[in-house]
Amino acid sequence: MQGEYHRLSKPTLAIMSLTNGKRIPVTVPKGAVVKVVNGPLDGTRLGYLEWDGETIMMFTAYVRERGGAHWAGVSRITIFSAAVF
Per the CB < 8 A criterion, the answer to whether 15 and 56 are in contact is: yes
What is the amino acid identity at position 4?
E
Position 51 confidence tier, pLDDT thresholds 50, 70, 90 = very high
Q: What one-character-per-residue DSSP string does 12-34 give?
A: EEEEEE-TTS-EEEEEEPTT-EE
Of 38, 28, 37, which Cα lies nearest the Cα of 7? 28
- pLDDT at position 85: 41
Does residue 77 or residue 33 have the better pLDDT? 33
Closest C-alpha to 31, from 9, 51, 5, 13: 9
Confidence of residue 45 (pLDDT cuts 50, 70, 90): confident
pLDDT-derived band of residue 3, with 50, 70 and 90 as boundaries?
A: confident
CB 8 within 8 A of CB 36: no
What is the average per-residue pLDDT within 16-35? 93
Domain ranges of the chain: 5-71
Least confident of 19-23, 35-39, 61-65, 70-74: 70-74
- pLDDT score of 49: 92
